[in-house]
Amino acid sequence: MRLIDWSSLDAPGRLAALARPTSRGETRVSDIVREIFDDVQARGGAAVADWSLKFDGFAPRRIAITPAAVDAARDALPPTATRSLRIAAENVRVFHQATRPEDTPFFETTPGVRSRLVWRPIGAAGIYVPGGTAPLFSSLLMQAIPAQVAGVRERVVVTPPAKDRGVHPAMIYAAAEAGLDAIWLIGGAQAIAALTFGAVLDDGEIPACDKLFGPGNAFVAEAKKQASARPRGPAVDMPAGPSELLVIADRDADPEIAAADLLSQAEHDADAQVILVSESRANIEAILAEVERQLQTLPRADIARASLGEGRAIRVRDMAEACEVANLYGPEHLALQTVDPEAMVERITAAGAVFVGAYAAETLGDYAAGPSHVLPTDGAARTIGGITTASFMTSMSVQSVSEAGARELAPVAARLARLEGLEAHARAADLRAR
């Protein structure tokens, strides 16, 4: 990790210090994704299958979540694992049921003019669950359950095949906990293209979806971006690319805990980025030494080392400046390991999720706390939040006007319409005021 003295940098230098890995925006990624999209739009399922064979060596396959499949998955997992999955699923469900948007009552803005907001689920959600190097069944729970709570009629889940071309039993069990009837083994940009255009495959049909969800690598993130830019293309949840974690650790923070949190994100992906911010040079050095010590026994040490090459250790004057760094970066995950973390939350304006205090491991949020771990990356947290039940819904205003209300408000609307030069608008209002 590169050590940076924040106070010595000018404005351009500070932006450069917080730059994301350049590989996320490489031209080759954009070009490959565009080629895949053009091919799938032209040839449909045949193109999806060809690209899957090219990248994964495996044709797309639909895995039905039948009682027999669930029983086999349960038998293949330790009882402690299935119990943990059930607890995590229940926590996710409880949180999203509690935070599901409710229709508002009518509000009367003018006598006889009443309006309210109502919420409706989207029709079809395309849910991408990362996989391949690790079966991220937690991402399935964190997306499919909020969609279920929202009332989405059709949830289409895609995930890359495992290295053995199969599916991890935990993914089957998680799908059952989320109430899914099937998942598709298909990954990468070709999976996003299938969700965008729809695809008829040997095992069935993937419908074109109204909105796409889920994190992924640089190719998946770029595919979602291109999908939403296509004419009549689907909406997307947010930029959700390789993982990010910024840890603010004051001079009293535990180096072992801070290092463990940094490595928990670094092991995700070589393109993941971790940043340490502290006012204490001594604690920065202690944390980095602890990172190196813990790396020695990590199974995914090579991936973590590649990620740490894009990491930063930033020394600031004080905790107020640390918050400024965090807000400028807008991290996907923000860990506050300080003496008074609750007070710092008030200073934070841009983060996908905030983990308050030494006990609030980001890992708890990744798996079982309840809120979805699908969060904005690449600085999008400055304007976009993470997945909630509302992400799978749309809101509509409903307006009800009585005859008396129209007579009261129509002249106002007509005058404003004529001020904008829209005579037909004005006449439509005038008719209600006769």
- From residue 108, alpha-carbon distances to 114, 391, 402, 405 in Å are 4, 28, 11, 10
CA dihedral 208, 214, 218, 223 (to 10 degrees): 10
Q: How many residues does the chain have?
A: 434
Q: Which of 119, 207, 161 is nearest to 388 (CA)?
A: 119
Q: Using only C-alpha atoms, what is the Rg of the chain?
A: 25
Confirm if 258 and 288 have CB atoms less than 8 A apart: no
Separation between Cα atoms, residue 62 and residue 64, nearest integer Å = 6
Where are the strands (E) in 207-326, listed by range?
A: 211-213, 235-236, 244-249, 273-278, 312-315
> Could you say which DSSP state residue 199 is in?
E
From the candidates 244, 267, 290, 332, give the one annotated as an active-site residue. Answer: 332
Q: Residue 262: which H helix or E strand, with range?
A: helix 255-266
* 122 vs 392: CA distance, rounded Å: 6
332 is catalytic: yes
What 3-state DSSP class applies to 99? coil
Pairing of strands 312-315, 273-278: parallel
Rounded Cα distance, 434 and 429, in Å: 10
Exposure string of 161-196, with b = 16+ CB inside 10 Å and e = fewer, is bbeeeebbbbbbbbbbbbebebbbbbbbbbbbbbbb
Task: Tell me if residue 268 is catalytic.
Answer: no
Asked whether the beta carbons of 210 and 122 are under 8 A apart, the reply is yes
The DSSP call for residue 214 is: -
Spatial CA neighbour of 185 closest among 26, 316, 59: 59
Q: Which of 333, 362, 403, 420 is catalytic?
A: 333
- Burial state string for 19-40 with b = 16 or more CB within 10 A and e = fewer than 16: ebbeebeeeebbebbeebbebb
Residues annotated as catalytic are 332-333
